[in-house]
Amino acid sequence: MDSKLPATGTTIFAVMSSLAEECDAINLSQGFPNFNPSQKLLDLVGQYLNSGANQYAPMPGVPALRKAIAAKVQTLYGRSVDFESEITVCDGATEGLFSAIQAVVRSGDEVIVFDPAYDSYEPSVTLAGGRTIHIPLITSSDKPDFHIDWERLKDSVTNKTRLIILNFPHNPTGVILSPDDLDKLADIIRQTKTFLLSDEVYEHIVFDGAAHESLLKHDELWARTFVVSSFGKTYHATGWKVGYCVAPPALTNEFRKIHQWVCYTVITPVQHAIADYMAQTPDHYSELPDFYEQKRNHFCQLVAGSRFTLRPTNGTFFQILDYSEITDEDDVTYAKSLTREIGVASIPISVFCEQPFANHLLRFCFAKDDHILEEAAARLCQL
Ligand code: PMP
Ligand code: GLN
């Protein structure tokens, strides 16, 4: 068959999760918690399921949920957004990203992503007829965290650049943006017509007292940005696939033209339940960083005695471990052999990169109960 996506295979998340299941391994590969959402949220979903909220929600989403999102955006990022014309509830962040890309990218347009780049971006750009330009995140002696190479970005932005996709806190490296980064980006794109797509699904998982630099905070950038987020990470409910897109009215208008044909709307009782839960538990966002910071610290302490080298993680629920002291094997082979041989599944980083990147890196998800992290770390420490 003459495929529309010849370079696309099965996503690494499906590959590694099914291998983990087959090998009965501890699954630290695909990013999902092993614990449940709060009982209060589960009860609210049950309540709405049983009280008849089971038919189509309005196409842009249940108004109460869009109002709750608008209130959050105002409180956390100081931006006043109109729930009617600037917020759309989507079928997870995945659909939000896909619809935003289809909304703006035309045949022949260029779209810049930063490698390692989340794996749904490029196929979505290809389906829109666009060309993906990969810019690797870099490390340097004064800044060992992966960060944007601003000079290279400046040189790569041309009149063909239709969209730049950002994802901070960054999956898989865990790096975050600083306010200064937003200003640098604004300087580079000021004279262009480039749109921005900011994948902020880990917006509430930022460590060590740092703040999340949402593009919603920046007046100039916000005017041309789709901000996409997901309730999956925030409420420990990745299987519900409910997310949202916040964008200025003209962008939202184009976004909805696609969203209505991709899924039309999103599961009704869950939207109502999340709306109530957001209003009733305003502290959830402030508690989440500590909760995951403790998990990061615990996992890092547990593997500190191993032959892996830890990379800094400032956000997300992923920890990168460098295994170059252990073997020269490529990361895909090594991730699979660790799953089979010691029963710990992880994600190889090279699959998110166009060019060979920093080799020998694996991503481990620490959104797990402590006893699972302890057992996984004990196995990693034996290597
Ligand atoms: N973007 C990034 C960076 C992700 O890690 C994920 C997966 N959690 C998504 C998008 C997709 O989110 P969702 O499950 O809500 O579709
Ligand atoms: N975002 C999740 C991760 O990075 C996976 C989501 C998916 O499987 N599509 O692990």
- Give the Å distances, CA to CA, from 349 to 24, 195, 307, 311, 317: 22, 27, 18, 13, 15
Q: How far is the CA of 264 from the centre of ligand 2 (A)?
A: 23
235 burial (CB, 10 Å; 0-12 / 13-18 / 19+) is buried
What's the CA angle centered on 176, arms 332 and 227, to 5 degrees? 95
Predicted confidence at residue 358, as pLDDT, reads: 73
At residue 292, the pLDDT reads 98
Helix axes 63-77 and 268-280, enclosed angle (nearest 10): 40
CA of 348 to the centre of ligand 2 (A): 13
- Cα(352) to ligand 1 centroid in Å equals 14
Query: What is the per-residue pLDDT for 144?
Result: 73
What is the pLDDT, as a whole number, of residue 75? 96
The dihedral formed by the CA atoms of 184, 190, 194 and 197, expressed in degrees to the nearest 10: 40
Q: What is the distance between the alpha carbons of residues 273 and 47, in angstroms, rounded to a whole number?
A: 8
221 pLDDT more than 90: yes
Tell me which residue has its CA closest to atom 4 in ligand 2.
Answer: 31
Mean pLDDT score, 82-99: 98
Q: Decide if 82 contacts 249 (C-beta within 8 A).
A: yes
Cis peptide bond N-terminal to 37, omega within 30? no
Of all ligands present, the nearest one to the C-alpha of 346 is 2
Confirm if 163 and 224 have CB atoms less than 8 A apart. Answer: no
Residue 356 has pLDDT above 90, yes or no: no
Question: What residues line ligand 2, using a CB cutoff of 6 Å?
Answer: 13, 30-31, 171
Answer whether 96 contacts ligand 1 (Cβ < 6 A): no
User: Ligand 1 in contact with 245 (CB < 6 A)?
Assistant: no
| Average pLDDT for the chain | 97
The closest-lying atom of ligand 2 relative to the alpha carbon of residue 171 is: 4
SS3 for 121-154 is HHHHHHHCCCEEEEEECECCCCCCCCECCHHHHH
Q: Looking at ligand 1, which residue's alpha carbon is closest to its atom 7?
A: 31
Counting from 1 in the atom list of ligand 1, the atom nearest the Cα of 91 is 16
Element spanning 364, H or E: strand 361-365
The alpha carbon of 41 is separated from its chain's Cα centroid by a whole number of angstroms, namely 22
Predicted confidence at residue 89, as pLDDT, reads 98
Nearest residue (by CA) to ligand 2, atom 2, is 31
Mean pLDDT confidence for 13-27: 98
Domains along the chain? Answer: 12-30+284-380 (3.90.1150.10), 39-280 (3.40.640.10)
Closest ligand to Cα 347: 2
Judged against a pLDDT cut of 80, whether residue 275 lies above it is answered with yes
The verdict on the CB of residue 94 being under 6 Å from ligand 1 is: yes
What's the pLDDT at 282?
Answer: 85
- For atom 8 of ligand 2, the residue with the nearest CA is 13
Q: What letter does residue 240 receive in the DSSP assignment?
A: G
Mutate-to-test residue for ligand 2 from 12, 13, 17, highest number of ligand atoms within 8 A of CB:
13
What mean pLDDT is predicted for residues 47-53?
A: 97
CA of 305 from ligand 1 middle (Å) equals 31
Binned at pLDDT 50, 70 and 90, residue 39 comes out as very high
Q: Which residue has the higher pLDDT, 140 or 270?
A: 270
Q: Is the pLDDT of residue 126 over 80?
A: yes
Q: What is the pLDDT of residues 293-321, one digit of tens each?
A: 999 999 999 999 999 999 999 999 999 99
Please give the pLDDT value at position 341. 97
Ligand 2: centre distance to CA 192 (Å):
32
- C-alpha distances (whole Å) from 121 to each of 8, 100, 152 are 12, 11, 20
Confidence at residue 141, expressed as pLDDT on a 0 to 100 scale: 75
Pocket of ligand 2, candidates 30, 173, 229, 364: which has the most ligand atoms within 8 Å of its Cβ, to mutate?
30
Q: State the pLDDT at residue 290.
A: 97
Report pLDDT for 139: 86
Q: What is the pLDDT of residue 53?
A: 97
What pTM was estimated for this model as a whole? 0.98
Q: What is the pLDDT of residues 4-17, one digit of tens each?
A: 999 999 999 999 99
Instruction: Report the pLDDT averaged over residues 44-66.
Output: 98
Question: Per-residue b/e over 6-35, b at no fewer than 16 CB within 10 Å?
Answer: eeeeeebeebbbebbeebebbbbbbbbbee
- What's the pLDDT at 357? 74
What string of DSSP letters covers 202-214? TTT-B-TT-----
Q: Of 358, 354, 374, 356, nearest to 366 (Cα)?
A: 374
pLDDT for residue 283 is more than 90: no
Q: How far apart are the C-alpha atoms of 48 and 60, rounded to whole Å?
A: 19
Print the SS3 string covering 4-49: CCCCCCCCHHHHHHHHHHHCCCEECCCCCCCCCCCHHHHHHHHHHH
What atom in ligand 1 is closest to the CA of residue 233? 8
Query: pLDDT band at residue 28, thresholds of 50, 70 and 90?
Result: very high
Ligand 1 and 241: CB distance under 6 A: yes
Confidence of residue 24 (pLDDT cuts 50, 70, 90): very high
**Residue 244: closest CA among 119, 99, 101:** 99
Mean pLDDT of 329-355: 97
Mean local confidence (pLDDT), 131-150? 90
Q: Please give the number of the atom of ligand 1 that sits closest to the Cα of 231.
A: 15
Average pLDDT over residues 235-255: 98
CB 289 within 8 A of CB 316: no
| One-letter amino acid of 311 | R
pLDDT at residue 359 above 90?
no
Please name which ligand lies nearest the alpha carbon of 114.
1
289: Cβ below 6 Å to ligand 1? no
Residue-wise pLDDT for 158-201, tens only, equals 999 999 999 999 999 999 999 999 999 999 999 999 999 999 99
Question: If you search the block for the tokens 């920046």, which residue do you land on?
Answer: 218
Are the C-beta atoms of residues 316 and 174 closer than 8 Å to each other? Answer: yes
Report the distance separating Cα 345 and Cα 17, nearest Å.
Answer: 8
